[in-house]
Structure 1
Amino acid sequence: MFDTFKAQFKLQWRQYLVASLASYGSLCTGMSMGWTSPVLPMLRGPGSPLPAPPTLAQESWVGSLLVLGGLLGPLITVPLSKYVGRRWIIIGTNLPLLLGWLLAGVATSLPTLYAARIMWGCATGMMFATVPIYIGEIAEDKIRGALSALFLLFINVGFLLAYAIGPFTSYWGLTAAGGILSLFYLPCTWFIPETPFYLVWKGHHDEALQVLHQLRGKPKDAVQPELDGLKAMVAREFKVEPRIQDLWATRGNVKALGICVFLAMLLQLSGIDVLLFYMEELLVKVGSSMTASDGTILMGCVQVITSCITPLVVDRLGRKLLMWTTSLGLTIFLFLIGVYAVLDTHFKVDVTSVTFIPLVCLVFYMILFTLGVGPVPWILVAEMFPVRSKCLASGICSFMCWLAGFIWTRFFRDVAASYGIYTAFWILAVCCGIGFVFSATLLPETKGKTFDEIQEMLNKTKEPKPVPV
């Protein structure tokens, strides 16, 4: 068994390396997303770059504008993807990413901070709409899920860095650390190749063969059948230019779009951005026994460790099993946090002996989200659509994901302030419960299937029952 694993890794390590280089930018955006958790308390203190402490509404805008900026990503990537390719779009995310860190570093007013958050959101939206597609097009079918999970792993490493650096440095120290890490993204993206699919689509067959040779670690004649398959697929799928109407041209496309849009929105409606952006504040509100800064570092460590496990299980357990089990788990643990909060804050029950419950529930929340609800929607976006409509579908799913995220991150704190933190957590639990029912009943399994097999499965209609004579 070890010899088999060793032989497989010898052939596949190049794909892991390229997927990691493409995903490194998500580490930088993960750090920008987690930046608010340690920074919001700093903005209220003497080390703030602002002339006055921000109000609750202004802090909510600082948190949510990154998600609003994410809406710009698909609007940029979808029109450009067929002209410049996946590689150049990924390289282009460096511009808003670095501009965001620069604006945050020189900020002395809220509008400048708002602009920085929008730039970070734009970069994040571009990555979410492009990197999963890129990885899906360079990966072999049997490791496509594992490679796609690397994207979330790097995001979680970025969150951990923000949580770990923030409590021990100043506003400018944390911002400078994020900017320096982001500078390395340009050389990382410069060395990634264009995807074989895009090169075949543009007629660069020799270059596509060379890329397949490098990615697979096999002689050119050994990867020639894969290139021939790509040529046949492009000839079949791209007789005419892709159009928005393609997304509802077949039963399978409509089904795939409905599934992926719902799951992308569920990813946000499960409350992940709320928890990550306001982690320190929430740990204080729900009465955790651990200090807020220590709790956020623990959460970051849990995310990173679980993200390392995700690539190992996503292609073994399958997408459907991971989605319905993790959605069910999120429902239970979010409901328990709400119960704890209502007993503590509304009914004034003495909970000093069980103050560990919120932290334990949040730990399990992070584990389950990172295993299923977080990575699976983006894996499915890269798997469930025909190649001619994949970029359009990815852009729509990403747009709806960020729209749901903006609404929830902007108004979560208002709901908590008006109706109690327990009500906000119960709303999250209901959303995850709906996701559980949807995943258990309507989500098809795509594990180990080729793109053609997935399309056949989605377009398959039930055989009509014979009418008795």
Structure 2
Amino acid sequence: MDERGMRVRWARRLGTEILMDFKRCAVLLRAKITGVLPLYQRPRERRTNYRDPSTASYGSLCTGMSMGWTSPVLPQLQRLESSPLPHVPTLQETSWVASLLVLGGLLGPLITVPLSRRVGRRWIIMGGNLPLLLGWLLAGVATNLETLYVARIMWGCATGMMFATVPIYIGEIAEDEIRGALSALFLLFINVGFLLAYAIGPFTSYWGLTATGGILSLLYVPCTWLIPETPFYLVYQGKLDEASEILQSLRGTSKEAVQAELDGLQAVVTREFKEAPKIQDLWATRGNVKALGICVFLAMLLQLSGIDVLLFYMEELLAKVGTTLSPADGTIIMGVVQVVTSCVTPLVVDRLGRKLLMWTTSLGLTIFLTLIGIYALLDSYYKIDVTPYAFLPLLFLIIYMILFTLGVGPVPWILVAEMFPVKTKSLAGGICSFMCWLAGFVWTRFFRDVETSYGIYTAFWILAACCGIGFIFSATLLPETKGKTFDEIQDMLNNRNKEDKPVDV
């Protein structure tokens, strides 16, 4: 090799080493600040701690894209040259296009709850592919509103199945100290899906966006074949050897090292499943009633904070509240904010705790939704010139999205996976998901009616009032579950001391 070649090779090697040193320093600095151990410093086998929850959560990216699909598509449906429909839909018809996905979400828990004990979490996640792909197919060939309605219902069904199953799946395969961080991956992937819809939609046709969503959803099919069944479900089915093997893979350790955790799962199954689960179990103990009340309220608050309204109608809302930025550009900025904040959420949810995140973020949502309403009142009702302050609505919405993504969005689903006894977890999770989608359907369906009749500022103030109630609830009644095992959480909910705990048999 000549001298010049040797110099080039040496320079490349030096550059690579400097880049690697820089990356290591950055990761170590982050670890120093957050207390999170860098992934490359963990045993190589334990990377499945992140691989399997991420693979399972990829489906939420696909459903997130179907939920964000309406933001760029609804304006396109108003232009016949870019619409598959033979006529421009009315205000009521576009409201149904948006809200029927949320109505379809009600079907998810009705499917998952009866099947959860019979087929397991993995097969339910795989089954969510069917309505998801069918929805993209119908949207791609739609030439009338009725076909679009069915497509939206199919997407909603798939989304409801994901919301009811994936958080429980992650909670059952995660270690206690990183359970919250892994559960937050679910929301991260949803927000990536929204960002893709927001970023692709304004710069392509209706069919281009729909085809992209269908291709990404098709890729989810092989992903679901890669995820394992949860050790808990395998123990429940009596497949102890298979449960031990999966635990060894998840924890990156030996059979002897996971034996204590396997014995604990066996003890839980023996204690909790002496009889088949039934709906009466949800109110059999004080702890169950308390957990159900907390999680149902927070799941409904998630929707009543207005997140689906903002996500479904993002472009229209940015145009109506008076911002001077292009609605398409503003929507992309909002999507980027969602994703970036979702990357921060796993780092703080286990460090700051669920209670602190809930009451601080719900208080922040109350304040900024109120401010957006005041701005809209001055602009649209009193006709005051607010041009010098036209940046404020987008700024307030960005702060809203940051706060929602840090607390009000992920925490309810983390608590669903944490607060219920294993016997009632699937049933309770299905009920929480059902109530979440019911609240979302009512609000997304009638938001435009409230806006038309009473002004968009009134709609924002209603959202602010709901978040204010959530703040009071979270600050006074919500217990902290950070870093606690399932048994410790049950002891806390039932006000049990160690001597009061049931004896394993």
Task: State TM-score, norm by structure 2.
Answer: 0.90
- 1:403 — aligned with what? 438
Give 1:282-297 correspondences, 5 Å limit.
282-297=317-332
- 1:25 — aligned with what? 59
In structure 2, give the amino acid aligned to 1:235: T
Alpha-carbon distance between aligned partners in 2 of 1:155 and 1:332, rounded to the nearest angstrom: 25
- The partner residue of 1:434 within 466, 469, 484 is 469
Residues 201 and 209, structure 2, Cα contact 8 Å, conserved in 1 = yes
Residues 46 and 249, structure 2, Cα contact 8 Å, conserved in 1 = no
Alpha-carbon distance between aligned partners in 1 of 2:398 and 2:384, rounded to the nearest angstrom: 24
- The partner residue of 1:451 within 474, 486, 494 is 486
- 1:42 — aligned with what? 76
From the CA coordinates, give the structure whose radius of gyration is larger. 2
- 3-state secondary structure, aligned to 1:387: coil
> Which string of whole-angstrom CA distances, capped at 9 and with x for unpartnered residues, describes residues 287-313 of structure 1?
112100000000000000000000000
Does the C-alpha gap of structure 1 residues 260 and 325 become closer, same or farther in structure 2, counting only changes over 3 Å? same
1:245 aligns with 2:280: yes
> Which string of whole-angstrom CA distances, capped at 9 and with x for unpartnered residues, describes residues 265-323 of structure 1?
00000000000000000000001121000000000000000000000000000000000
1:106 aligns with 2:137: no
- 3-state secondary structure, aligned to 1:388: coil
- 1:124 — aligned with what? 159
> Which string of whole-angstrom CA distances, capped at 9 and with x for unpartnered residues, describes residues 133-185 of structure 1?
00000000000000000000000000000000001000000000000000011
Alpha-carbon distance between aligned partners in 2 of 1:114 and 1:160, rounded to the nearest angstrom: 23
Alpha-carbon distance between aligned partners in 2 of 1:9 and 1:146, rounded to the nearest angstrom: 18
Give 1:63-212 correspondences, 5 Å limit.
63-212=98-247
- The partner residue of 2:47 within 2, 13, 22 is 13
Alpha-carbon offset, residue 10 of structure 1: 3.9
Give 1:358-397 correspondences, 5 Å limit.
358-397=393-432
Alpha-carbon distance between aligned partners in 2 of 1:347 and 1:278, rounded to the nearest angstrom: 24
Alpha-carbon offset, residue 15 of structure 1: 1.4
Give 1:271-310 correspondences, 5 Å limit.
271-310=306-345
- 2:271 — aligned with what? 236
Alpha-carbon distance between aligned partners in 2 of 1:164 and 1:307, rounded to the nearest angstrom: 17
Alpha-carbon distance between aligned partners in 2 of 1:402 and 1:223, rounded to the nearest angstrom: 38
In structure 1, give the amino acid aligned to 2:401: M
Alpha-carbon offset, residue 7 of structure 1: 3.8
Does the C-alpha gap of structure 1 residues 166 and 238 become closer, same or farther in structure 2, counting only changes over 3 Å? same
Alpha-carbon distance between aligned partners in 2 of 1:186 and 1:231, rounded to the nearest angstrom: 32
- 2:6 — aligned with what? none
Alpha-carbon distance between aligned partners in 2 of 1:105 and 1:29, rounded to the nearest angstrom: 16
Q: Which runs of 5+ in 1 are unaligned?
A: 463-469
- 2:289 — aligned with what? 254
Alpha-carbon distance between aligned partners in 1 of 2:392 and 2:179, rounded to the nearest angstrom: 37
- 3-state secondary structure, aligned to 2:424: helix
In structure 2, give the amino acid aligned to 1:117: R
- 2:248 — aligned with what? 213
Alpha-carbon offset, residue 12 of structure 1: 3.6
Q: Which runs of 5+ in 2 are unaligned?
A: 1-26, 32-36, 498-505
Alpha-carbon distance between aligned partners in 2 of 1:336 and 1:252, rounded to the nearest angstrom: 38
Alpha-carbon offset, residue 8 of structure 1: 3.5
- 3-state secondary structure, aligned to 2:276: coil
Task: State TM-score, norm by structure 1.
Answer: 0.97
- The partner residue of 2:346 within 311, 324, 339 is 311
Residues 76 and 83, structure 2, Cα contact 8 Å, conserved in 1 = yes
Alpha-carbon offset, residue 13 of structure 1: 1.7
Alpha-carbon offset, residue 461 of structure 1: 7.0
In structure 2, give the amino acid aligned to 1:189: T
In structure 2, give the amino acid aligned to 1:325: T
> Which string of whole-angstrom CA distances, capped at 9 and with x for unpartnered residues, describes residues 26-73 of structure 1?
000000000000000111112110000000000000000000000000
Alpha-carbon distance between aligned partners in 1 of 2:341 and 2:130, rounded to the nearest angstrom: 31
- The partner residue of 2:299 within 247, 256, 264 is 264
Structural RMSD (CA): 1.2
Alpha-carbon offset, residue 220 of structure 1: 1.1
> Which string of whole-angstrom CA distances, capped at 9 and with x for unpartnered residues, describes residues 386-416 of structure 1?
0000000000000000000000000001100
Alpha-carbon distance between aligned partners in 2 of 1:171 and 1:258, rounded to the nearest angstrom: 42
In structure 1, give the amino acid aligned to 2:407: G
